[in-house]
Amino acid sequence: MVEHRKPIPVAEAVERVIKKAQALGTQQVALGDSYGRILAEPLKASHDVPPFNRSPYDGFAIRSKDSMGASGENRKRFEVIDHIGAGAVSEKVVQEGQAVRIMTGAPLPAGTDAVVMFEQTIDSGSSITIRKPFEALENVSLQGEDMKRGAAIIDSGSFIHPGTVAVLATFGYAEVQVAKRPVVGILATGTELLDVSEPLQPGKIRNSNGPMIEAQLARMGISCKTYGMSVDDLDESFNVVKAAAEETDILITTGGVSVGDFDFLPAIYERLGAEILFNKVAMRPGSVTTVAVADGKYLFGLSGNPSACFTGFELFVRPAILKMMGAEKLYLPRTQAVLAEDFAKPNPFTRFIRASYDGLSVRPAGFNMSNAVSSIARGNALIVLPGGTRGYQEGALVDVLLLGVEEGTARWTL
C-alpha cells in the first residue's frame, strides 16, 4: 500500500535539478528596466574613468613647476585667468605664473598639472598666493586611474543591482542585454482548497500556497500564470497539468505528491512520460518534494503543506530559475548565527526551520510543524540543522540561509 521511496540528500537533489536547466535566451531592455535582471553580456569600460585628468577639489589649477620654492616667507603669486565648473573646458593655455579657478570634476586646463585647494590659498579675486610647492599631478584625479578603457567590469550572469545600473549608465548602455525570464505556472491541487475570496466551508481551507509562491516569484521579479485549482480526479488533473505544462517553462504544483489515495501527481508524471529527478529528499519539512522534467520543462511537485512548499521553492525552484537565466549565483546566501533558544527535536533528516535572524542571532519562528501558518508569517531566514543530529542548545552556532533582506531592522544601532 505504502510506496517505498528512497530519500536522497538535499545537496544531491539540488544538483540534479540544476543540471537540467535549459537556457532561455536573451532580450534587450532599456536601462531603466534593467534592475533585477540577469546581465547577458559582459560589461566592459567603453572609456577611461575618469575620462580625463580632473580636479578632485574646488581650487586652482596651476603649473606645478611655478610653485617651486614657495614658502610662508616667500609666497608665490598666480594670476587667475579663467574660471571653470565641472562640465566646462577652459580654452586658455596656462602660462607661467597663471592659474585657473576650477571646480570639482572639471578637466585640468592645458598646461596645468596640479590643483591647489581653496584653503591652501590667499585669494584676492584676480590673483592668489600660495605658501608651499606642489608636485606634478598633486591633487589630480588621473585619466583612467579608476578604470582603463576596455577593462572587464561585470561578468555576464551577474545580477543587475543599483550599482550595476550606475556602471551601465556611465558607459552609455542605454539598452542592456539581459536573460529572458521563464514563463512560470502555478497549480495548487486539492479539493480541500478554497479561493482566497471564498467563505470558509467545513473540511476546507483557503489556498495559501498559490499566492505565496506568486509572491516568492515576485521577489525574483518574475510573474506567473495561475491555473486555478484542479480537482482530485486523475484524468481531469492530468489534462490540466498537461495543458499548463505546454504553456510554461516551469510548472509548479502544490500538493498531490505524497502517497495518499488522491495524490495524483506521481501518476500524472508517469503518464506524461516525465523523467523523475527525485521524489524523496532527506529533509524536513518537504521530504515528498518531487521534481520531474518533461519535454525539457521543469515540473516542480512541491508539498501541499505551507512550510514545506515555501522551503521547496527556495531550495529547488529558485536556483533552477536562476540557472535558466544564466545567473552565476544560484543559491540562497548563507551565514552562521547563534541560536537564541533551544531546539530540542532530533533531526533524522536535514531540517529547515523558519526563523528570525537579527544579524547576530537566530530564533526559530515559533511553532514549526508542516502546517503551521503562524511560523510562515514571521521570519526572514531558514535555520539549517544537519541530518543525524540531536537537539541544539541555545548558544550553538548554526547555519542560516537568508531569505531576502527587504525588511530591515527597527533600531539604528551604529
Task: Please tell me the distance from the alpha carbon of residue 358 to that of residue 317, in angstroms, as a whole number.
Answer: 26
Nearest to 57 by CA among 15, 115, 130: 115
Q: How far is the CB of 227 from a copy of itself (least distance, A)?
A: 14
Q: How far is CA 34 from CA 23, 40, 178, in A?
A: 19, 11, 8
Q: How far is the CB of 295 from a copy of itself (least distance, A)?
A: 27
Residues found in the chain: 414
Minimum CB distance to a copy of itself smaller for 293 or for 398: 398
- CB neighbour list of residue 66: distance below 8 Å, 6 or more residues apart: 76, 78, 96, 97
User: Strands across the sheet with 297-302, in order?
Assistant: 224-230, 184-189, 250-254, 297-302, 290-294, 275-278
Contact 88, 186 (CB under 8 A): no
Q: How far is the CB of 105 from a copy of itself (least distance, A)?
A: 6
Minimum CB distance to a copy of itself smaller for 164 or for 287: 164
Minimum CB distance to a copy of itself smaller for 11 or for 68: 11
Minimum CB distance to a copy of itself smaller for 41 or for 214: 214
Q: How far is the CB of 382 from a copy of itself (least distance, A)?
A: 10
Contact 289, 310 (CB under 8 A): no
Task: Please tell me the distance from the alpha carbon of residue 356 to that of residue 380, in angstroms, as a whole number.
Answer: 5
Contact 305, 285 (CB under 8 A): yes
Largest CA distance in the chain: 102
Helices (H), ranges, 62-144: none
Minimum CB distance to a copy of itself smaller for 292 or for 400: 400
C-alpha cell at 398: 548554526
Q: How far is the CB of 389 from a copy of itself (least distance, A)?
A: 13
Residue that has been written with the C-alpha cell 556611465 in this structure: 170
Task: Please tell me the distance from the alpha carbon of residue 324 to that of residue 321, in angstroms, as a whole number.
Answer: 5
Minimum CB distance to a copy of itself smaller for 53 or for 67: 53
Minimum CB distance to a copy of itself smaller for 63 or for 323: 323
Contact 55, 141 (CB under 8 A): yes
- CB neighbour list of residue 207: distance below 8 Å, 6 or more residues apart: 188, 190, 193, 194, 195, 196, 229
Nearest to 98 by CA among 80, 125, 111, 116: 80
Q: How far is the CB of 196 from a copy of itself (least distance, A)?
A: 5
Contact 320, 312 (CB under 8 A): no
Q: How far is the CB of 84 from a copy of itself (least distance, A)?
A: 8
Q: How far is the CB of 387 from a copy of itself (least distance, A)?
A: 11
Residue that has been written with the C-alpha cell 599631478 in this structure: 137
Minimum CB distance to a copy of itself smaller for 124 or for 295: 124
Q: How far is the CB of 18 from a copy of itself (least distance, A)?
A: 9
